[in-house]
Homo-oligomer: A and B are copies of this chain.
Amino acid sequence: MRASYHEALSAVSADLVRMTDLVQESVRTATRALLDADLQAAEQVISGDATLDALHDDLESRCFSLLARQAPVAGELRTLVAALRMVGDLARMGDLAAHVAKIARMRYPKKAVPDTMEGNFRRMAELAETMVALAGRTLAERNVLDAERMADHDEEVDELRALQFRRLLDDSWPHGVEAAVDCALLGRYYERIADHAVLLGSRVIYIVTGLHPEGENWTIA
C-alpha cells in the first residue's frame, strides 16, 4: 500500500515537471505567434490549451484521491498541497499563453506589437519563458537557490512593463489606440505568467523546507 502510494506521489511530481515543460513550450510558441505574426503557431497554442486543461484535471483528481485515500504526513502532505496549487498555476499560465496567441491571431496578418515595442516584448517574453524553465528545473531538482534567482528576473519583467506604459501613454505614441490596448494587455499577460512562475518557485521552497518564503514576491495569491 505505502509503496504504491509513494509511486503515485512520484508520478504526480513527474507529471508536474512534464506539465511545466508543456507550459514553457506554450509560452515560447505564443511569443513566436505574436512577434512573427505566425498564425499556425497561434492555432497550436490555442488548441494545445485543451491538453493542458486535461492534464490539470487529471493531476488534480489524482492529488485529491491521494489526500482522501491516505493520511499523508509532514513532507508528503506538503507535497500534495503544493502540487494542487502548482497544477492551478500551470493551467493558468497556459490560459495566459492562449490569451497572447488569441491577440496574435486576431491581428493576423498584421503584427499586434509595433516594431518600436518589439525589443521590449521579446525580452519580456524571454524572461517569462526562462522563469518557467527555472521553475521546472527547480521542481525537478528541488533546488532552492534556483527559485531564489527567479526574483531578479521578475524585477526586470516589472521594469519592462513600466517602460511599456511610459511609451504607450506618451503623447508621441504613433501607433494608435488598438496597438496601445493590445500592448497593455499583452504586457499584463506576460507579467502574470512571470508572477505564476515565481509562485511555482515558492511552492517548491515550501515542499523542500516547509517554510513560506518571506517578501512580496512570494505572497502573490
Contact = CB atoms under 8 A, between A and B. Distances in A.
Interface stretch (A5-13, A126-134, A143-151, A179-187): A179-187
A88 B57 CA distance: 19
A173 B177 contact: yes
Contact of A221 (B91, B168, B212, B221): B91
Number of copies of this protein chain within its complex? 2
Given A77-B67, A81-B67, A57 B219 contact: yes
A152 interface: no
A71 interface: yes
B77 A221 contact: no
Interface residues of A, number: 36
Contacts of A193: none
Contacts of A181: 165, 168-169, 180-181, 184
B74 A68 contact: yes
Nearest to A88: B221
A188 B53 CA distance: 21
Q: Is the interface of A mostly helix, strand, loop or mixed?
A: helix
B185 A177 contact: no
A53 B85 CA distance: 18
Contacts of A90: 221
Contact of A177 (B64, B168, B219): B168
Given A184-B184, A188-B185, A64 B81 contact: yes
A115 interface: no
A102 interface: no
A81, A173, A177, A219: residue with the most chain B Cβ atoms closer than 10 Å? A177
A111 interface: no
Given A71-B71, A84-B85, A180-B180, 11 more contacts: A57-B219, A64-B81, A88-B221, A95-B220, A165-B181, A168-B181, A169-B178, A173-B177, A177-B177, A184-B184, A184-B185
